Amino acid sequence: MPLAGRPYDMRQECITRRLNTGDLIAEVARRVGNSPEVIHRRYHGCIDGYEEAANEKIAVAPDREGDGRRAGVIT
């Protein structure tokens, strides 16, 4: 049994896996030679919940500046 029907199928699998493991869209796009907009549009189903995961990371990030604000939060 072949690994994939077409070589391009493996590329799509790789992109999907990277997005599902939480890699940044911009980084995935850079590595595969697409724009982040293309990745977001084509693979939006893989990145549902991305905002929630990012918000959780921000919520537990240390206050490095000592000013009471969380890292990465723009006010």
- If one counts the domains in the chain, the total is 1
Tell whether 73 is covered by a domain: no
The confidence score (pLDDT) of residue 29 equals 94
**In degrees, to the nearest 5, what angle opens at C-alpha 72 toward C-alphas 28 and 31?**
10
The confidence score (pLDDT) of residue 56 equals 81
The confidence score (pLDDT) of residue 52 equals 76
Tell whether 11 is covered by a domain: yes
Tell whether 70 is covered by a domain: no
The confidence score (pLDDT) of residue 70 equals 55
Q: How distant, in Å, are the alpha carbons of 10, 19, 40, 48, 71 from that of 30? A: 17, 13, 13, 20, 25
The confidence score (pLDDT) of residue 30 equals 95
> Residue 55 sits in which domain range?
7-60
Tell whether 54 is covered by a domain: yes
Tell whether 72 is covered by a domain: no
What confidence category does residue 74 fall into, taking pLDDT thresholds of 50, 70 and 90?
low
Q: How distant, in Å, are the alpha carbons of 46, 54, 64, 66 from that of 19? A: 6, 13, 28, 33
pLDDT tens across 34-73, in order? 999 999 889 887 776 667 777 787 788 776 666 556 555 5
User: Residue 22 in contact with residue 53, Cβ under 8 Å?
Assistant: yes
